[in-house]
């Protein structure tokens, strides 16, 4: 079973204050690029894995999705999602994504935002996703970028005293597995995977890669958000689109 940090009060109280929770999808800088990877949602059967407050599930319905199924491990997240939703076309459900069985040939779109890097057993979930997608169906997801998750100790941008050069310290890119981070609380468990592991998981599960974005702010976005310049040093988000063959 996955770690459920979202249901820890101290974590949750801080998490809900993030832009991407208060403002929804538009509070997530990478959302516009992820949205571009989506096919039409009109009449689509949609699965939202790690749905959180349900921002994407509601977006999908507003885009014409026939039905949306949102799954999350966190009770607190789902409570909040329920409180924000009045729509019979959306079904929220509590489940552990590491032990999920999905129906055959059911979905047109499977979406997941910043969830997979919490899961130990991603291969079995990707196999389920592949089986549950209709042929030609789309799989669109984001994860924390492998360069971001690579360091074994909480890594910072280090400034060289002599040159002023800022650099990200990568110490174990090829060593996959647990990374323990401090994020609102101590001991948040994440899983580091290499780029090849993500890509080969798709290629070996019946997907064809269609979109691949290492998110980077535009010059315009940097002007409004100067702090995002750390993204030029190394990306935080990897956005991927694939089609079921």
Select from 203, 218, 223, 225 the one that contacts its own copies (CB under 8 A).
Answer: 203
Closer residue to its own copies in complex, CB, 102/240: 240
The rounded distance, in Å, linking the Cα atoms of 85 and 90 is 8
Select from 136, 167, 180, 183 the one that contacts its own copies (CB under 8 A).
Answer: 167
Site membership for its own copies, residue 194 (CB under 8 A): yes
Q: How big is the chain by its Cα radius of gyration, in Å? A: 18
Select from 173, 181, 185, 206 the one that contacts its own copies (CB under 8 A).
Answer: 173
Site membership for its own copies, residue 222 (CB under 8 A): no
Beta-carbon contacts of 5 under 8 Å, excluding residues fewer than 6 positions away, are: 11, 185, 188, 189
CB of 211 to its own copies, least distance (A): 8
54: left (phi over 0), alpha (psi -120 to 50) or beta: left
| Nearest one of 61, 143, 152 to 109, comparing CA atoms | 61
- In three-state secondary structure terms, 17 is coil
Q: Which two tokens stand for residue 56?
A: 């994407």
Of 36-44, 72-80, 134-142, 202-210: span binding its own copies (CB under 8 A): 202-210
What is the rounded end-to-end Cα distance, in angstroms, of the chain? 30
- In three-state secondary structure terms, 82 is helix
Site membership for its own copies, residue 174 (CB under 8 A): yes
Site membership for its own copies, residue 216 (CB under 8 A): yes
Site string for its own copies, 122-161 (x = CB under 8 A): -------------------------x---xxx----x---
CB of 216 to its own copies, least distance (A): 5
Size of the site for its own copies (CB under 8 A): 36
Contact present, 57 and 51 (Cβ < 8 Å): yes
Instruction: Write out the residues near its own copies by the rule CB under 8 A.
Output: 147, 151-153, 158, 163, 165-175, 194-196, 199-200, 203, 208-214, 216, 231-235
């Amino acid at each position: 079973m996955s770690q459920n940090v979202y249901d820890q009060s101290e974590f949750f109280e801080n998490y809900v204050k993030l832009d991407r929770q208060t403002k929804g999808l538009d509070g997530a800088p990478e959302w516009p690029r992820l949205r571009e990877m989506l096919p039409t949602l009109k009449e689509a059967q949609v699965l939202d894995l790690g749905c959180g407050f349900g921002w994407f599930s509601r977006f999908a319905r507003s885009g014409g999705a026939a039905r949306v199924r949102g799954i999350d491990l966190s009770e607190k997240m789902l409570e909040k999602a329920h409180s924000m939703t009045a729509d019979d076309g959306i079904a929220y459900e509590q489940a552990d994504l590491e032990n999920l069985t999905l129906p055959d040939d059911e979905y047109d779109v499977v979406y997941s935002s910043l969830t997979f890097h919490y899961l130990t057993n991603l291969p079995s979930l990707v196999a389920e996703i592949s089986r549950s997608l209709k042929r030609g169906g789309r799989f669109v997801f984001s994860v924390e970028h492998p360069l971001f998750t690579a360091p074994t100790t909480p890594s910072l941008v280090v400034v060289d005293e002599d040159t002023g050069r800022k650099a990200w310290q990568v110490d174990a890119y090829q060593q996959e597995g647990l990374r323990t981070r401090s994020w609102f609380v101590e001991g948040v468990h994440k899983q580091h995977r290499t780029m090849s592991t993500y890509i080969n998981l798709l290629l070996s599960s019946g997907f064809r890669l269609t979109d691949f974005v290492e998110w980077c702010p535009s010059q315009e976005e940097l002007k409004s958000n100067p702090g995002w310049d750390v993204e030029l040093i190394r990306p935080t988000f990897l956005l991927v689109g694939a089609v079921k063959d």
